[in-house]
Amino acid sequence: MLGDVLLIADKHRSAAKEIVSEILKIAKPKIIICVSGESGSGKTELSHCIGKELVKNHNIPTKIIHSDNYYSTHPKIRNKWRLENGLDKVGINEIDWKNLIKNVHDFLENKISQMPCVDLVPDEVDMLTTDFSKIKILIVDGLYAINLPSDLSIYIDLTYHETKKAQADRGKEKSDELRWQILEQEHKNVISLKEKANIIINKDYSVTWKK
C-alpha cells in the first residue's frame, strides 16, 4: 500500500532477526513467507523488518506484497457493499484469492507480473509491475495471508482490542461503530487461521516456534 504509516519499534526488529535466522536455513530457490494478524498487530512492520534484514544484512532480494491490495471491492465502496450485503460477509472471502495466487505463481515462475497497489491518499487502486526473476523471497502480509501455502507462516497473537492505540496512530480507517463491528468480524476470521501458523508472535513480541 502507498501512503501507509509504519510504527516500527525495537520489538519488530528483534523478532525479525530471530525469524530471519530460520529463513536462512530454508534450502529452496524461491521462498514464500506469510504474515497474518489482526488490525494494528504490526504485521506490516514485522514484514518490513524481515525484508530489510534479508536485503540489507544478507543481500537476498526480497519483495513484500500486501493482501489488503487484493480485496474484490474497491476501497471507496467497500463499506457500502458490506452494509448492503451484510457484515457477515466481512472476512476471508472478500479477498480476490485467484488474483493473489496468480501473482504468487508468477513469483515462483520468475515472471514479470502486474499487481494491484492501493494508494491510501486518494483511495485508488494503482497497478504495479514487478520482475519476479530478480526476487528470491516473497513476503505476503495481511489479515488472512497465512491462508496461502507457504514455507513459513507467521501469526501475530494480538487482538484488535489490544491494538487500539496502534490503529489510532496509523489512522488508516475511520473509528466508529461500523469499524468496530468490522474488526470483530475480521477477528473471527483471522483467529480461525491461527492453527496454520508455524511461528507465533506472542503479545510481548517474543517468538514461539510451533512443533
Q: CATH no. for residue 118? A: 3.40.50.300
Q: Name the maximum alpha-carbon separation found in the chain.
A: 48
C-beta neighbour count of 195 within 10 angstroms: 10
Instruction: Answer for the pair 59, 136: CB distance below 8 angstroms, yes or no.
Output: no
Within a domain: 5: no
Within a domain: 2: no
Mean per-residue pLDDT, 74-99: 97
Provide the β-strand partners of residue 128.
115
pLDDT exceeds 60 at position 170: no
Q: How many domains does the chain have?
A: 1
Interval 33-53: pLDDT, tens: 999 999 999 999 999 999 999
pTM value? Answer: 0.93
Residue 118 vs residues 18, 23, 75, 122, 126: alpha-carbon distances, Å: 30, 28, 8, 9, 6
pLDDT of residue 165: 67
Within a domain: 4: no
Tell which wins on pLDDT, 170 or 53.
53
pLDDT of residue 68: 95
Within a domain: 209: no
Under the banding of pLDDT at 50, 70 and 90, the label for residue 5 is confident
Express as a percent the part of the chain with pLDDT over 90.
Answer: 87
Interval 96-145: pLDDT, tens: 999 999 999 999 999 999 999 999 999 999 999 999 999 999 999 999 99
Domain that holds residue 200: 10-204
Helix pair 10-23, 43-52: axis angle to 10 deg = 60
